[in-house]
């Protein structure tokens, strides 16, 4: 069973703070993703990574950065948190395209609800 975990379920931070959200997967997946989920907007991709030390911008990367030093761990960094970054953040992982049946399937973590005051 694929397990994707996120370091916190709830987080409260002050404007201007540096925030780290951690995601770990235990299935040796190559691909990892960070989304934010807002009512009426669905899941929007912030960044993704298809290999260690590799990263690609998603649809809304502004104000965020990421780090992938190890295959199992993908971190989302808010360099200077702002109130408009208050949201639910979801991490996901998937195996390398084409190497497994259902290889495109993404498996999600439980989410981190971030409140920036």
Partner 1 sequence: GENVEQHPSTLSVQEGDSAVIKCTYSDSASNYFPWYKQELGKRPQLIIDIRSNVGEKKDQRIAVTLNKTAKHFSLHITETQPEDSAVYFCAAKDTGGGNKLTFGTGTQLKVEL
The nearer residue to partner 1, 4 or 81, going by C-beta atoms, is: 4
Smallest distance, partner 1 to C-beta of residue 103, A: 7
Smallest distance, partner 1 to C-beta of residue 38, A: 10
Strand partners for 75? 22, 67
Smallest distance, partner 1 to C-beta of residue 65, A: 17
Torsions phi, psi for 84 (to 5 deg)? -75, 0
The nearer residue to partner 1, 46 or 81, going by C-beta atoms, is: 46
Q: Please report the DSSP string for 1-38 in residue order.
A: ---EEES-SEEEE-TT--EEEEEEESS--SEEEEEEEE
The nearer residue to partner 1, 43 or 77, going by C-beta atoms, is: 43
Smallest distance, partner 1 to C-beta of residue 78, A: 21
Q: How far apart are CA 100 and CA 56, in angstroms?
A: 23
Q: Footprint of partner 1 on this chain (CB under 8 A)?
A: 31, 33, 35, 40-45, 48-50, 56, 58-59, 90, 94, 96-97, 102-111
Extract the tokens encoding 6: 């996120």
Cβ atoms 96, 106 nearer than 8 A: no
The nearer residue to partner 1, 16 or 110, going by C-beta atoms, is: 110
């Amino acid at each position: 069973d694929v397990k994707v975990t996120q370091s916190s379920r709830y987080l409260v931070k002050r404007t201007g703070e540096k925030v780290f959200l951690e995601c770990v997967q235990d299935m040796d997946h190559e691909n990892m993703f960070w989304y934010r989920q807002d009512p009426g907007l669905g899941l929007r991709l912030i960044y993704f990574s298809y290999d260690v030390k590799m990263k690609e911008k998603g649809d809304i990367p502004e104000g965020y950065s990421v780090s992938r030093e190890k295959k199992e761990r993908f971190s989302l960094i808010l360099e200077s948190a702002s109130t408009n970054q208050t949201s639910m953040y979801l991490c996901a992982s998937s195996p390398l395209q084409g190497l497994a049946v259902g290889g495109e399937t993404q498996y999600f973590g439980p989410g981190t609800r971030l409140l920036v005051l």
